Amino acid sequence: MDTRDEPKVSVITPTYNAARFIENTIVSVQQQSYQNWEMVIVDDQSTDDTVRVINKLMEQDQRIRLIELNTNQGPARARNVALKAAEGRYIAFLDSDDQWLVNKLEQQVLYMQQSNVAFTYTAYNRVQLHDDGRKEIKAVSVPSQVTYKQLLKQNVIGCLTVMIDVEKTGPVQMFDIRARQDYALWLELTRRGFEAHGINEVLANYSVRVGSLSSNKIKMAKQNWRVYREVEKLSLPVAIWYFIHYAFLKTKEYFSY
């Protein structure tokens, strides 16, 4: 891509106690074939060496910006602080333990310019990390398009793969909830009429750590229900209808790993 046609991409990265991972995450952005980006990192009161690691890399690359919160406020507020500070036409999300493949930004910006769309996502690798150092990697494919009603049944959009053209959508903010705030934003955008377009090529690595999987499933289900009722304001029968689909598809997904 001709550098004259490269609008700036703002990379939104919340961090909390990510000293072990954040350098690899930042390097994956620095190694992008598309170089007109800024990385807005918001640290949510880390108690480890996260800030020191970021400062070291920031001294070497002025495209990296660090904002430190005075109190721990959670990922939604950290992302929103970064979104307010972002200067790019395109917004992309990357959490502090995930990485992008080198051509991620280039391919996504090119696709959005050629297709004239405002909201895209891509396929990705799901990298399950075990305490003994083992990694299990599975490619997660995505549909070419997803609607609001389809998203209510199943969130097929990985946050680390999303890119939004805020020149088309206007400024975006995430809902102030402790979890599933990214899902709520995808629902808002599609409800407003912005079609979500999928690029079915693996362009990112999503890290998953083995922990209390049953507990996490329950928490995720509760948060999904909260999105239906409190964010989307679905009636009780409609919320139940979509929750049944969600539970079935999520169970099917877990058994496929």
Instruction: Note down pLDDT in tens along the chain; length 257 residues.
Output: 445 568 999 999 999 999 999 999 999 999 999 999 999 999 999 999 999 999 999 999 999 999 999 999 999 999 999 999 999 999 999 999 999 999 999 999 999 999 999 999 999 999 987 777 778 899 999 999 999 999 999 999 999 999 999 999 999 999 988 789 999 999 999 999 999 999 999 999 999 876 544 447 788 899 999 999 999 999 999 999 999 999 988 877 766 65
Question: How high is the pLDDT of residue 71?
Answer: 94
Structure-token pair, residue 158: 């990985």
Cα distance between residue 24 and residue 158, in whole Å? 19
Quote the Cα angle for 84-85-87, to 5°: 105
| Residue linked to tokens 């109190």 | 71
Please tell me the pTM assigned to this model.
0.92
CA-nearest of 64, 65, 68, 67 to 30 is: 64
Residue 243: per-residue pLDDT: 95
d(Cα 208, Cα 135) in Å, to the nearest integer? 10
Q: Where are the domains of the chain?
A: 3-210, 211-257
Question: Any idea which fold 3-210 has?
Answer: Spore Coat Polysaccharide Biosynthesis Protein SpsA; Chain A (3.90.550)
Q: What is the pLDDT of residue 257?
A: 55
Tell me how far CA of residue 47 lies from CA of 15, 17, 52, in angstroms: 11, 6, 11
Q: What is the structure's pLDDT at 217?
A: 78
**24 token code pair:** 């690899």
